[in-house]
């Protein structure tokens, strides 16, 4: 590294990361809002990043930040941070071991490959000066399973890009137009889209739209054959997603049974609430305990993998069409109270104070 000058308000974002990914975009903008200067170091090689950095000219940072999904960049970033006595912030968002072993089921949990992957990832978490999790259950998982430092693991919700996902006006649909139930996603087990299709088959008095693509979409299309009220749409540009949410009456979250599904709040949940649309999703301790569980806060929670419960919830909501606008307002209030930009900013400030920034 060839430092130009030293500053206590510079954070070096390290790794082959996507600056436009929602998690990164929100946190980066908030860091700038808090008065920090950001420098990006995107090495040609994750493994050799610390070598490349030695020949790169930039300001001496106050800390090094390894962002979402960049476990491969961690070791090189840590070598650099240790060499210059800098704290390292690790915001993995997910566990690579959890994804490979339990989500993709690439290795058996007790296999030697699984144990090696767990040991490798645990060594990353244990050496971080600050670990950031997106929910309380994810934070506990990082601590209990991956060895993250208990007193230096902080929760910062993901939230939504509020400049884009704004409260959508509730427009009155024609009397002969059934309400629309919207799901969008990547059609993976964590989301359990087949549960949605099974529920949709039981409630033909609404339009059910599943938007997106992924490994389970073909299966869902097969299960929905003969049901004209179930439709599939392909991905649309990200910038158009809020308007598409606004055309729906009710949004769906995730319904998977995995441990990970119980730990996360998906992007679609934050986005639906920010847009002021009521949400039905699986019960999860990832949501604040203070939230009610009967739509009083714009969210209906149901047991995971329970199409009958999903169908019953949708029927109950559709039976009160005059209250749908109120549910949407409550959903937006829930976002404002728990997941807004202001809330995330305060959580970020609290987290950085742990390492003296």
Give the start-to-end residue ranges of the domains of the chain: 2-159+340-353, 180-338
pLDDT at 7: 56
For the segment 158-170, what is each residue's pLDDT rounded down to a tens digit? 999 999 999 998 7
Q: Does the pLDDT at position 297 exceed 50?
A: yes
Q: 248: pLDDT confidence band, cut at 50, 70 and 90?
A: very high
CA distances from 20 to 229, 233, 340 (A): 35, 24, 19
The verdict on domain 180-338 having CATH code 3.30.2130.30 is no
User: Looking up tokens 């690439």, which residue turns up?
Assistant: 106
For the segment 7-63, what is each residue's pLDDT rounded down to a tens digit? 569 999 999 999 999 999 999 999 999 999 999 999 999 999 999 998 888 888 999
Contact 83, 31 (CB under 8 A): no
E strands, 213-336, are: 230-233, 250-252, 279-282, 299-302
Contact 248, 276 (CB under 8 A): no
What share of residues in the chain are helix, strand, coil (percent, to 5)? Answer: 40, 15, 45
Provide the token pair at 28: 């980066």
The residue ranking higher by pLDDT, 189 or 59, is 189
Q: Does the pLDDT at position 2 exceed 50?
A: no
Q: Does the pLDDT at position 4 exceed 90?
A: no
In the chain, % of residues over pLDDT 90 = 88
Q: Does the pLDDT at position 1 exceed 70?
A: no
Q: 322: pLDDT confidence band, cut at 50, 70 and 90?
A: confident
Please say whether the dihedral angle defined by the alpha carbons of residues 297, 302, 307 and 309, taken in this order, is positive or negative: negative
Please say whether the dihedral angle defined by the alpha carbons of residues 137, 138, 141 and 142, taken in this order, is positive or negative: negative
pLDDT at 172: 59
pLDDT at 173: 61
Domains 2-159+340-353 and 180-338 share a fold: yes
Level-2 CATH architecture, domain 2-159+340-353: 3-Layer(aba) Sandwich (3.40)
- Segment 116-136 shows an average pLDDT of 98
């Amino acid at each position: 590294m060839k430092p130009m000058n030293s500053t206590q308000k510079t954070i070096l974002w390290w790794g082959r990361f996507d600056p436009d990914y929602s998690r990164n975009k929100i946190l980066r903008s908030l860091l700038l809002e808090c008065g920090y200067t950001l420098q990006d170091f995107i090495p040609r090689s994750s493994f050799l990043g610390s070598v490349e950095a030695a020949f790169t000219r930039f300001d001496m940072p106050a800390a090094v930040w390894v962002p979402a999904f960049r476990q491969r960049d961690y070791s090189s970033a840590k070598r650099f941070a240790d060499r210059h006595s800098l704290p390292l912030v690790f915001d993995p968002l997910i566990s690579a071991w959890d994804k490979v072993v339990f989500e993709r089921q690439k290795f058996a949990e007790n296999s030697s490959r699984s144990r090696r992957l767990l040991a490798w990832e645990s060594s990353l978490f244990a050496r971080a000066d600050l670990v950031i999790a997106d929910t309380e259950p994810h934070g506990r998982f990082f601590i209990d399973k991956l060895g993250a430092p208990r007193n230096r693991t902080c929760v910062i919700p993901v939230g939504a890009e509020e400049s884009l996902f704004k409260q959508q006006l509730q427009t009155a649909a024609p009397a002969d137009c059934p309400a629309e139930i919207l799901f969008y996603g990547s059609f993976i087990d964590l989301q359990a889209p087949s549960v949605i299709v099974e529920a949709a088959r039981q409630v033909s008095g609404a339009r059910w739209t599943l938007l997106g693509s992924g490994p389970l979409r073909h299966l869902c299309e097969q299960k929905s054959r003969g049901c004209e009220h179930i439709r599939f749409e392909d991905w649309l540009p990200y910038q158009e997603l809020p308007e598409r949410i606004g055309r729906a009456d009710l949004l769906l979250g995730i319904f998977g049974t995995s441990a990970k599904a119980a730990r996360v709040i998906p992007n679609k949940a934050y986005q639906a609430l920010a847009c002021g649309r009521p949400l039905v999703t699986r019960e999860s301790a990832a949501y604040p305990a203070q939230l009610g569980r009967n739509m009083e806060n714009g969210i209906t929670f149901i047991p995971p993998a329970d199409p009958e419960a999903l169908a019953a919830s949708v029927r109950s909501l559709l039976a009160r069409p005059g209250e749908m606008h109120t549910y949407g307002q409550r959903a937006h209030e829930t976002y404002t109270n728990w997941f807004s930009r202001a809330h995330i900013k305060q959580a970020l400030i609290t987290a950085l104070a742990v390492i003296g920034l």
